Each structure stands twice: as structure tokens, then as C-alpha cells.
Amino acid sequence: MAITRRRAADDEGEISLTPMLDVVFILLIFFIVSTSFVKEPGIDPQRPVAETAAAKARGNILIGISEADAVWMAKRRVPLEDVRRLVEAAVAENPESSVVVVADQRASTGTVMDVMDRARAAGVTTVSVSAEPQA
């Protein structure tokens, strides 16, 4: 009844936006929830293979270590002394974040440990080393 009345009033037929709005909101909420703002280290080293590798959902501070022991953060090569300051800044932005050290398998253990120690000194409690899960 109401529809007929309305039709007569505005002449041209209107498309209901409500279902589209529902879908758009669901998409929006999905993307808000799933966004984690990962800072890519800028290099893609060859990761070691590990059986116990687990997905790090919260790991959003990625620190890359290249084959030649160069440290990369947020697509820039950084000196080892700056790692602590940069991690502190990243933690201040997102206190829930954790560190994943993406080290090349030929990088030296000493550099990996230095980076881990600096991340820990910056106040991050969970530090893990990236690995390829075994197929």
C-alpha cells in the first residue's frame, strides 16, 4: 500500500540502497578487522625451513637480515644501533605488536642475536625468527 502511494508521489522509481549499504558495511568491517599494517622489511631473504614454524598473526614489526648481515627495517637499511629506537617507535604506535626477525639462512647468528636483544631491550616480549613451514 505504502509503496503505491510513494510511487505516485515521486514519479521515477528509486533503487533501494539498503542492501548495498549492508554489504559495504560488512566488507568495511572485515577489512578493518583484518588490517594489521605490517611494515615490510624491504628484502626477501631465504628463510630456513622449520617444522615448528607457526603463523605469527601479531608479528607486524619485521626486521630483515640479509645474507651479508645488513639489517633492514621498513624498506630501509638501518645500522644495528638504530634498531632499538625504531622498534620502540613501532611499539609506541601499536603496543600489541611483536617482532619477527626475517633472517637469511646464511646470515650470522651473532647479528640475529644482536637484533633480538635490541628488540627485547625496546620492550617487545615475543621475538621470533622467521622460518618456512615444512611442506
Partner 1 sequence: MIEHRRRRRGGQEAEISITPMLDIVFILLIFFIVTTSFAKEFGVDMNRPSNAPVKEQKRTEVIAVRIVADGRIFVEDRAVDVGAVRANIESGLARKPQASVVVVADRAADAGLMVQVVDQARVAGAANVSLAAPAG
Which CB atom, from 13 or from 17, has the smaller least distance to partner 1?
17
Name the phi and psi angles at 45, rounded to 5: -75, 165
Nearest to partner 1 of 46, 94 (CB atom): 46
- Report in angstroms how near the CB of residue 85 gets to partner 1 at its nearest: 19
Give phi and psi for 29, each to the nearest 5: -65, -40
Q: Is 57 helix (H, G, I), strand (E, B) or coil?
A: coil
The residues of the shown chain that bind partner 1, judged by CB under 8 A, are: 2, 5-6, 8-10, 17, 21, 24-25, 27-28, 31-32, 34-38, 40, 46-57, 59, 62, 65, 100, 102-113, 116-117, 120, 126-133
Q: Do 112 and 120 touch, CB atoms closer than 8 A?
A: no
Q: What does the longest C-alpha to C-alpha distance in the chain come to? A: 79
Measured from the CB atom, the residue of 87 and 104 that comes closer to partner 1 is: 104
